[in-house]
Structure 1
Amino acid sequence: MIFRSATISDLNEMQKLYVETIQSVCKNDYNTAQIEVWIHGVQNMDRWIDVINTQFVVLALIKNKIAGYGTLKDGNYIDFFYIHKDFQRQGIADKILKKLELEARKQNSKIITSDISITAKPYFEKKGFIVKAQQKNIRLNVELINYKMEKEL
């Protein structure tokens, strides 16, 4: 496994991983309407380009395929954190999280935060994150539940 920063040329593969992971991994925690609304965000190309251009983005690659990625916004917020549906439970998330936490420390952040899905909540709790609030987000008239979580570095 190798790690590198993302570039615009990685965008299509990152978006495909995002959609497929949500559809596959999150299907037990979110219904079809919620998943459709969640993945609808993939169509906001300006947002995705902004992520590549302004955030710390680390890709994990196995045989030149993106196995997972994480992004750090403003030095202290995990914006995107997805592991490919075929590469779950192989330690990839741990390695990406360590890299994001290291970058946050380099940027003098004392706390790292994120908005975490129901699916990912147990993982982040095991990594020392605590729930600050349950959030009900309305997107396209559909309610999505996630959790504001944080960890002291």
Structure 2
Amino acid sequence: MPITLRQATHGDLPEMKELYVGTITTVCTNDYTPEQVAIWASSAQKAQRWIDLIDHQLVLIAQKDNNIVGFCSLDKNVYIDFMYVHKDYQHQGIAKTLLLAIEDKARNTGTSTITSDISKTARPFFERKGYKVIKEQINIRQGIEIINYKMSKDINPE
């Protein structure tokens, strides 16, 4: 069955959070320590953050066989806030499908540059899709350093 895209609802939040934690705690373990992974995944417990995500951002769900297999969000038409693909559905074109859809949505609002804060794990994927590293960032969460990259892409080259 093919992947379908749709806008997320509050009812999707439990499955989205489960996917988020499952992806971080399995896919990202080669790039981050167990302590970093635990701190990162713990942000799924910030209930208001997730409610605000649905209320204030464009959130696209990738669905297959009535299961959420990925999701991506666009904040203020210029910033990719979330991009996660289910741990069991990696390398199947889901992230590419979500990214192209989000870029199209941004482009249709007149946005010319899109940015995101990208994990070490996701950096190669985003680089293959034309994103460039602006700078390496060190985030301190609960006293622990977690490195990611500010990246951007010109989505309206002319």
TM above 0.5: yes
Task: Provide the C-alpha distance between the structure 2 equivalents of 1:92 and 1:20, rounded to a whole number of angstroms.
Answer: 16
Aligned residue in 2 for 1:118 = 120
Between the two proteins, the alignment pairs up a number of residues equal to 153
Deviations 1:50-78 (A, max 9, x none): 00011011001000000101000010100
Q: Alignment partner of 1:136: what SS? A: strand
Task: Provide the C-alpha distance between the structure 1 equivalents of 2:95 and 2:46, rounded to a whole number of angstroms.
Answer: 25
Aligned residue in 2 for 1:136 = 138
Q: How does 1:68-79 map to 2 (within 5 A)?
A: 68-79=70-81
Letter in 1 for 2:61: L
Task: Provide the C-alpha distance between the structure 2 equivalents of 1:149 and 1:3, rounded to a whole number of angstroms.
Answer: 24
Runs of 4+ aligned residues of structure 1 deviating over 2 Å after TM superposition are none
Per the TM alignment, residue 107 of structure 1 is displaced from its structure 2 partner at its CA by 1.5
What RMSD in Å do the two structures reach over aligned CA positions? 0.5
Q: Alignment partner of 1:96: what SS? A: helix
Letter in 1 for 2:109: Q
Aligned residue in 1 for 2:17 = 15
Letter in 2 for 1:29: D
Q: TM (normalized to structure 1)?
A: 0.99
Task: Provide the C-alpha distance between the structure 1 equivalents of 2:30 and 2:91, rounded to a whole number of angstroms.
Answer: 17
Q: Alignment partner of 1:145: what SS? A: strand
1:59 pairs with one of 58, 61, 71: 61
Quote the sequence identity (%): 48
Deviations 1:100-142 (A, max 9, x none): 0001111111100000000000000000000000000000000
Task: Provide the C-alpha distance between the structure 1 equivalents of 2:31 and 2:95, rounded to a whole number of angstroms.
Answer: 19
Letter in 1 for 2:15: E
Per the TM alignment, residue 93 of structure 1 is displaced from its structure 2 partner at its CA by 0.7
Aligned residue in 2 for 1:147 = 149
Task: Provide the C-alpha distance between the structure 1 equivalents of 2:141 and 2:66, rounded to a whole number of angstroms.
Answer: 34
Task: Provide the C-alpha distance between the structure 2 equivalents of 1:43 and 1:21, rounded to a whole number of angstroms.
Answer: 15
Q: How does 1:16-31 map to 2 (within 5 A)?
A: 16-31=18-33
Establish whether residue 104 from structure 1 lines up as the match of residue 130 from structure 2. Answer: no
Aligned residue in 2 for 1:85 = 87
Q: Alignment partner of 2:29: what SS? A: coil
Aligned residue in 2 for 1:35 = 37
Q: Alignment partner of 1:137: what SS? A: strand
Unaligned runs of 5+ in 2: none
